[in-house]
Amino acid sequence: DAKTTQPTSMDCAEGRAANLPCNHSTISGNEYVYWYRQIHSQGPQYIIHGLKNNETNEMASLIITEDRKSSTLILPHATLRDTAVYYCIVWRGSQGNLIFGKGTKLSVKP
């Protein structure tokens, strides 16, 4: 599975959009980009995933570049409850384990 690179930490003002970048330059054609987040002392929570098209759900939007070497997770109106560690994972989407890095610690500030 491809390796991902994320910033260690980011800050965002409450009510503003949080844009979390992820680089995955070695992604294979059959690998998906998954995003999870982990609020302190809880299990990881699935957010969204995509292959090559942009995706949106009730939690977030995922923008994948045309060459698929990077992506951005967008939380449109961040709240204090969005403070968490966000993990970008590249995975073929079937069987096998997810490989987590250290993620991005997002701090939403009032």
Partner 1 sequence: DTGVSQNPRHKITKRGQNVTFRCDPISEHNRLYWYRQTLGQGPEFLTYFQNEAQLEKSRLLSDRFSAERPKGSFSTLEIQRTEQGDSAMYLCASSFGQGARETQYFGPGTRLLVL
Q: Which residues bind partner 1 (CB under 8 A)?
A: 30, 32, 34, 36, 41-46, 49, 85, 87, 92-103
Give least dist CB 78 to partner 1, A: 22
- DSSP secondary structure, 60-72, as one string: -EEEE-TTSSEEE
Burial group, residue 19, by CB count within 10 angstroms (0-12, 13-18, 19+): middle
Specify the residue, 76 or 101, whose C-beta has the smaller distance to partner 1.
101
Residue 14 or 59: the one with the smaller Cβ distance to partner 1 is: 59
CB 45, min distance to partner 1, A: 7
Rounded least distance, CB 53 to partner 1, Å: 13
Our CB check for partner 1 shows the closer of 12 and 87 to be 87
With respect to partner 1, which residue has the nearer C-beta, 10 or 100? Answer: 100
- State how far the Cα of 76 lies from the Cα of 16, in Å rounded to an integer: 7
> Which phi and psi angles does 84 have, rounded to 5°?
-175, 175
Q: How far is the CB of 22 from partner 1 (least distance, A)?
A: 13
C-alpha to C-alpha distances, 86 to 25, 29, 48, 61, nearest whole angstrom: 19, 23, 11, 14
